[in-house]
């Protein structure tokens, strides 16, 4: 039987979701059992791993994500190399769950973003907006023998959307509430906020990238402490806030821009870091880290107040992503959003580390079912649409 017909006939599927975010810290791979599709989807996590990249790989990817230092030869290589790493992660998570690959029905892979250009640029008299995620899905399908869906973002962009954020559809499926205005905050390299008003339909969902998540802190930890990140937020907890630095960071126009909006390293990468270091010359390292750490919860809160609070005063904020491990950020969020309850998604039964990977497993399931999974109210696309490319093994 045709593999897609076989898949369509199955009520319960085993899917693997793969995610590597802007932090390029590891490949998150999750094995989930999925029943149904669309609004009635049910799912259960079976195994999760953060599959490591080789030493130096993060720096290599970041270097090649920048205009000027990236080159077409390494981009071509990375596209396949990443797919090989993703396939390794598939093998590893299946091994952890003690499930043979032959029993796995589907892979959903986000890919590694190396560039995200959601604003129109004029080339040859034509406006073009683009985004590039590496880790070729057809290679993953061939190396694992599993139907693979990848490259979710371009479809939304083709219809005028930002191609991001895509997690809100999953948030709607997994977290909507009949009794509470609930917000979801994922703090990866970039932070994004989803608001699910009480009893919402998918058209009521609001979401946007609020700006940097861990990205600034990670880059500053590298420069000031030669570490990849601030474990637990301990350096920040030793420091004091530098108010002038906060003011300068807010001068980036992105924060005043109305949603729909999405961002990446293009705005909050090297140049932004150079500006911070320049302005904070002479300050103690822990104070610079504390300030950069404070900036994430503060910028989330300020934009919530500006763009959402009046219509959707939230009762609960549910945090996920690596930033959920940063005690300084969690404490600051609790303070800003009080009296709303601030928790991690673990408290609602969904691993805060696995959440985004689970999302891409579920988005692949939607694509196979032929269901749209962008949220036009969030991305700005002209209509709901089916996302991704389906690759047969």
- Least Cβ distance, residue 369 to ligand ADP (angstroms): 26
Cβ proximity of 145 and 155 under 8 Å = no
Cβ proximity of 317 and 342 under 8 Å = yes
Q: Which stretch binds ligand ADP (CB under 6 A): 62-70, 125-133, 239-247, 318-326?
A: 318-326
User: Does residue 25 belong to the site contacting Mg ion (CB under 5 A)?
Assistant: yes
Q: Using CB under 6 A, pick the residue from 154, 321, 384, 388 that binds ligand ADP.
A: 321
- The length of the chain, given as a count of residues: 393
User: Does residue 194 belong to the site contacting ligand ADP (CB under 6 A)?
Assistant: no
Q: Using CB under 6 A, pick the residue from 14, 16, 17, 23 that binds ligand ADP.
A: 23
Q: Could you tell me the CA-to-CA distances from 1 to 8, 106, 138 in Å, in that order?
A: 11, 16, 20
User: Tokens 């992660």 map to which residue?
Assistant: 89
User: Does residue 153 belong to the site contacting ligand ADP (CB under 6 A)?
Assistant: no
User: Does residue 214 belong to the site contacting ligand ADP (CB under 6 A)?
Assistant: yes
Residues 370-389 that bind ligand ADP (CB under 6 A): none
User: Does residue 316 belong to the site contacting Mg ion (CB under 5 A)?
Assistant: no
- What 8-state DSSP symbol labels residue 110? E
Q: Using CB under 5 A, pick the residue from 16, 17, 18, 21 that binds Mg ion.
A: 21
Tell whether the torsion through CA atoms of 333, 335, 337 and 340 is positive or negative.
positive
Nearest residue to ligand ADP by CB is 322
Tell whether the torsion through CA atoms of 119, 123, 127 and 128 is positive or negative.
negative
Q: Using CB under 6 A, pick the residue from 16, 18, 22, 273 that binds ligand ADP.
A: 22
- Least Cβ distance, residue 339 to ligand ADP (angstroms): 26
State how far the Cα of 240 lies from the Cα of 229, in Å rounded to an integer.
18
Cβ proximity of 147 and 105 under 8 Å = yes
User: Does residue 260 belong to the site contacting ligand ADP (CB under 6 A)?
Assistant: no
As beta bridge partners, residue 147 has: 106
**CA atoms in the 13 A half-sphere facing the CB of 362:** 29
What tokens were used for 23? 């932090």
Contacting residues toward ligand ADP, per CB under 6 A: 21-23, 25, 188-189, 214, 218, 229-233, 321-323, 325-326, 356
Contacting residues toward Mg ion, per CB under 5 A: 21, 23, 25
């Amino acid at each position: 039987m045709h593999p897609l017909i076989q898949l369509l006939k199955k009520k319960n599927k085993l899917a693997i979701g793969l995610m590597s975010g802007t932090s390029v810290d590891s490949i998150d791979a999750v094995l989930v059992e999925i029943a149904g599709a669309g609004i009635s989807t049910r799912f259960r996590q079976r195994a999760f791993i953060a599959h490591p990249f080789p030493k130096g790989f993060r720096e290599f990817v970041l270097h090649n994500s920048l205009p000027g230092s990236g080159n077409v030869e390494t981009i071509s290589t990375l596209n396949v190399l990443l797919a090989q790493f993703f396939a390794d992660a598939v093998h590893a998570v299946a091994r952890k769950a003690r499930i043979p690959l032959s029993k796995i029905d589907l892979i959903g892979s986000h890919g590694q973003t190396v560039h995200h250009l959601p604003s129109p640029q004029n080339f040859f008299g034509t406006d073009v907006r683009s985004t590039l995620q590496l880790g070729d899905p057809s290679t993953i399908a061939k190396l694992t023998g599993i139907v693979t869906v990848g490259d979710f973002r371009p479809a939304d962009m083709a219809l005028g959307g930002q191609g991001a954020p895509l997690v809100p559809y999953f948030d709607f499926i997994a977290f909507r509430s009949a009794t509470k205005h609930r917000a979801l905050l994922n703090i990866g390299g970039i932070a994004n906020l989803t608001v699910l008003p009480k009893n919402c339909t998918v058209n009521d969902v609001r979401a946007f990238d609020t700006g940097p998540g861990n990205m600034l802190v990670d880059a500053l930890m590298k420069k000031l402490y030669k570490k990849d990140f601030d474990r637990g937020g301990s350096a920040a907890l030793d420091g004091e806030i530098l108010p002038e630095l906060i003011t300068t960071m807010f001068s980036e126009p992105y924060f005043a821009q109305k949603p729909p909006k999405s961002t990446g390293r293009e705005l909050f990468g090297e140049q932004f870091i150079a500006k911070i270091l320049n302005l904070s010359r002479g300050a103690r390292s822990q104070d610079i880290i504390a300030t950069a750490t404070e900036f994430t919860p503060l910028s989330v809160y300020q934009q919530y107040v500006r763009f959402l609070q009046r219509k959707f005063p939230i009762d609960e904020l549910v945090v996920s992503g690596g930033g959920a491990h940063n005690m300084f950020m969690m404490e600051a969020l609790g303070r800003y959003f009080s009296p709303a309850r601030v928790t991690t998604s673990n408290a609602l039964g969904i691993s805060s580390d696995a959440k985004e990977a689970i999302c891409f497993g579920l988005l692949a399931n939607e694509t196979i079912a032929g269901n749209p999974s962008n949220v036009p109210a969030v991305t700005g696309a002209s209509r709901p649409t089916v996302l991704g490319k389906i690759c047969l093994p």
